C-alpha cells in the first residue's frame, strides 16, 4: 500500500521518500545559445540546478556539457522550481511557494558589495570606487587610472581596490604643498656614487666613475671592474682588488710599470751567471752554453771544469795526465 524511492548518489529523498530531489552542484552559466547549444559567462561558484535556474537573474544554463534552464512561465520551469516565476521555489516540507534568498543561497554573489534580498529578486549595492558587473554578478573595482590623467605632472597613478593614489615618479619627491618636485639625489645621498662623482639632472642623476670602476646599467652606482677578466698579467696570475688589480708573476718574470709580467733577463741582472761559458736568455728562464773543457753544473747556473784525466784515463798513454782549468796536459817520462 506504499512505496519508497531509492535515490542515486547526490539526490535526496523528499516527500517522505516518495520523490528524489537533485542536489548535484555544477557549473552555472549566464548565457545559453540555442543555435549551437553552447554556453558562456560561467560563474565562479557551483550550485544546484534549481538554485541556478530558479533564482532571479542568475543562470540560463547549468552543468557540463551545459543544459539549458527551462524558460520562466512554462510547465518545465514550474516542474523544476514549483513556480512559473523566477525568484521562488516550493518548500519541500510545507509545499508553500517561498522566496529564494539569493544573497544567502548563492555564494559569491555581490562580491565586494552588499547583497540585498528582495521578494522574488535581489540587488547589489556597490561601494564607492566599484561598479556592478551584471554578467559576473559582482562589484568590480573601477580603475580610475584609465580615466585620463588623474594625477599631476611628474606623478604616476596607482589603482587600488575602490580608489587610487598618486605616487611621485622616480627622481621626484612629494612636497608639503602636494607637488612632485625634482629630487637632488647627490645632496640627499652624498656617497651615492662613491668613489665616483654624482651628477644631478631633472628627474634623476648619474655617476661618473674613476679608473678601475664602472657604472651599473642604470648609471646609479659605481662598481668595481674585475680587470682579471681580460687576463692582463700574461705570464702571471691576476688578483683583483677594489678599483685595481695585482699580478703575481711566474718565476722568471717580474711586474712592469704597465702592471703586467715581463721576462727577467737573468744574464744581465745576475752577475757571475754561466761562468766559464755564455749565458743565453730565454722567455722566463736562461741557459748556459759552456766553453770547451767545461760542462753544465747540476744547478744549471755555472760551467764546471771537465776532468779529462778521469773521464778518459788512457789519454796520456805512458805519461801522466795533469788536469788543468778548462783543459789538461801530459807529462811524459
Mean pLDDT of 297-309: 91
Given a contact cutoff of 8 angstroms between Cβ atoms, the answer to whether 108 and 47 are in contact is no
**Do residues 129 and 9 share a domain?**
yes
290 found inside a domain: yes
Q: How far apart are CA 145 and CA 125, in angstroms?
A: 23
**Do residues 127 and 208 share a domain?**
no
- Assign residue 92 the CATH number of its domain: 3.90.290.10
Position 196 pLDDT exceeds 90: yes
The string of pLDDT tens digits covering residues 253-299 is 999 888 889 999 999 999 889 999 999 999 999 999 999 999 999 99
47 found inside a domain: yes
Mean pLDDT of 215-243: 92
Q: How far apart are CA 27 and CA 42, in angstroms?
A: 7
**Do residues 18 and 129 share a domain?**
yes
Total domains present in the chain: 5
**Do residues 113 and 30 share a domain?**
yes
220 found inside a domain: yes
pLDDT band at 83 (very low <50, low <70, confident <90, very high): confident
140 found inside a domain: no
**Do residues 33 and 109 share a domain?**
yes
The H-or-E segment that residue 136 falls in is none
Residue range of the domain that includes 160? 145-178
- Assign residue 210 the CATH number of its domain: 2.10.25.10
Phi, psi of 15 (to 5 degrees): 55, 45
**Do residues 219 and 270 share a domain?**
no
Confidence (pTM): 0.53
Q: Is 166 helix (H, G, I), strand (E, B) or coil?
A: strand
Amino acid at each position: 500500500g506504499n512505496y519508497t524511492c531509492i535515490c542515486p548518489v547526490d539526490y535526496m529523498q523528499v516527500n517522505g521518500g516518495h520523490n528524489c530531489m537533485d542536489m548535484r552542484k555544477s557549473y552555472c552559466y549566464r548565457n545559453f545559445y540555442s543555435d549551437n547549444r553552447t554556453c558562456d559567462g560561467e560563474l565562479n561558484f557551483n550550485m544546484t540546478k534549481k538554485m541556478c535556474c530558479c533564482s532571479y537573474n542568475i543562470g540560463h544554463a547549468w552543468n557540463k556539457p551545459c543544459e539549458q534552464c527551462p524558460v520562466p512561465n512554462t510547465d518545465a520551469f514550474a516542474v523544476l522550481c514549483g513556480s512559473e516565476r523566477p525568484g521562488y521555489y516550493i518548500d519541500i516540507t510545507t509545499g508553500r511557494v517561498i522566496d529564494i534568498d539569493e544573497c544567502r543561497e548563492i555564494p559569491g554573489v555581490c562580491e565586494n558589495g552588499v547583497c540585498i534580498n528582495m521578494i522574488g529578486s535581489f540587488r547589489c549595492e556597490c561601494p564607492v570606487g566599484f561598479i556592478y558587473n551584471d554578467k559576473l554578478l559582482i562589484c568590480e573595482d573601477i580603475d580610475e587610472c584609465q580615466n585620463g590623467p588623474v594625477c599631476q605632472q611628474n606623478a604616476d597613478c596607482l589603482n587600488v581596490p575602490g580608489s587610487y593614489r598618486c605616487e611621485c615618479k622616480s627622481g621626484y619627491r612629494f612636497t608639503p604643498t602636494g607637488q612632485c618636485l625634482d629630487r637632488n639625489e647627490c645632496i640627499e645621498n652624498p656617497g651615492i656614487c662613491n668613489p665616483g662623482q654624482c651628477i644631478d639632472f631633472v628627474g634623476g642623476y648619474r655617476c661618473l666613475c674613476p679608473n678601475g670602476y664602472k657604472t651599473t646599467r642604470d648609471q646609479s652606482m659605481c662598481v668595481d671592474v674585475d680587470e682579471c677578466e681580460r687576463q692582463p698579467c700574461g705570464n702571471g696570475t691576476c688578483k683583483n682588488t677594489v678599483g685595481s688589480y695585482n699580478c703575481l708573476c711566474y718565476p722568471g718574470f717580474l711586474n712592469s710599470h704597465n702592471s703586467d709580467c715581463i721576462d727577467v733577463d737573468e744574464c744581465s741582472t745576475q752577475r757571475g751567471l754561466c761562468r766559464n761559458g755564455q749565458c743565453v736568455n730565454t722567455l722566463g728562464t736562461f741557459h748556459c752554453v759552456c766553453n770547451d773543457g767545461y760542462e753544465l753544473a747540476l744547478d744549471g747556473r755555472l760551467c764546471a771544469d771537465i776532468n779529462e784525466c778521469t773521464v778518459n784515463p788512457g789519454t796520456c798513454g805512458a805519461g801522466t795526465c795533469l788536469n788543468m782549468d778548462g783543459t789538461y796536459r801530459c807529462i811524459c817520462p
